[in-house]
Amino acid sequence: KTTKQPVNRVVKVGAKDKVVTEKLPFTTRYEADNTKEKGIQTVVSTGKEGTKTTVTKYTVNPTTGAVTESVQKPTVVSAQDKVIKVGTKDKVDPKVIPSPKKYVKDETREYGQPNITVNGTPGVEKITTKYTVNPKTGAITETKGKPEITQPTDTVIKVAAKTKVEVKKTLPKIEIRENKEMVKGKEKIVQQGKPRVLKETTEYVVNPKTGEITQVKRTDVVEAGQPTIKEVGTRDPKDIYKDKVT
């Protein structure tokens, strides 16, 4: 009689490694670009998703068939940020300050001659606006600086306004006086006249804002002068003869 040996029954238990891969989203980062005008965006990196891979291994007990799992340390490939540069170039707003006009009296040239203009330099008022970028949202915040002022210089307009001086002489008056002791028909100068001398001064006052000229005249007596006094005889010649006979 033949005896059959027992044969082991083999039971296969599924124990294939479990691989789970998760996607890691990339973030968007905004950076300031001070070479471009405000708000202009340029994508310098498109971004790339990362991954997190977790492997679970299974061990089967050959006697009981019990399965034991072992989760391995995840393998992480980091995501790459999407980078967008945002224009933040400073904005400078210049404002021209006109050169103020100033009229001055020119004592070297006669009144009535054309004005001479010496141009000044305009000034400038500058306000600089700076921009900052929120790295998470791309929002732009502006900050205005204090005005920087370069003062203008005056434009000088020289107005011909030389003071005018005129000397005028008036011929002396002649006064006639009767001389009862002098024979009629005779006359003599008893006082030589002198002319009256006047100095007329015209000053020109220049309005420094408008250039308008106002004349101020003044008359001074340099010499008062004196009249010429002439005596004229009024005595009858016959009266002189009678006096001699008598």
Helix (H, G, I), strand (E, B) or coil at 239: helix
Task: Write down the pLDDT at residue 7.
Answer: 56
Nearest CA among 62, 54, 51 for reference residue 17: 54
The whole-model pTM stands at 0.56
List, in sequence order, every residue forming a beta bridge with 143; answer none if it has no partner: 130
Q: pLDDT category, 3, cuts 50, 70, 90?
A: low
Residue 240: per-residue pLDDT:
63
Q: Is the pLDDT of residue 245 over 60?
A: no
Task: Name beta bridge partners: 54.
Answer: 20
CA–CA distance, 232 with 190 (Å, rounded to integer) = 10
Assigned token pair, 104: 């001055």
- Indicate the average pLDDT of the chain: 91
The set of long-range contacts for 233-238, using a CB threshold of 8 Å and a minimum separation of 24, is 233/179, 233/181, 233/182, 233/183, 233/184, 233/185, 233/186, 233/187, 234/178, 234/179, 234/180, 234/182, 234/184, 235/179, 235/180, 235/181, 235/182, 235/183, 235/184, 236/183, 236/184, 237/183, 237/184
Over the range 7-16, which residues count as b (16 or more CB within 10 Å of their CB) and which as e? eeeeeeeeee
Q: Tens digit of pLDDT for each residue in 18-65?
A: 999 999 999 999 999 999 999 999 999 999 999 999 999 989 888 888
**Integer Cα distance of 170 and 176 in angstroms:** 19
DSSP structure class, residue 74: P
DSSP 147-189: -EEE---PEEEEEE-PPEEEEEEEPPPEEEEEEEEEETT-EEE
pLDDT score for 17:
87
In a 3-state reduction of DSSP, which class is residue 225? coil
Q: Rounded to an integer, what distance in angstroms lies between the CA atom of residue 174 and that of residue 224?
A: 15
pLDDT at site 242? 60
**Dmax of the chain from CA atoms?**
234
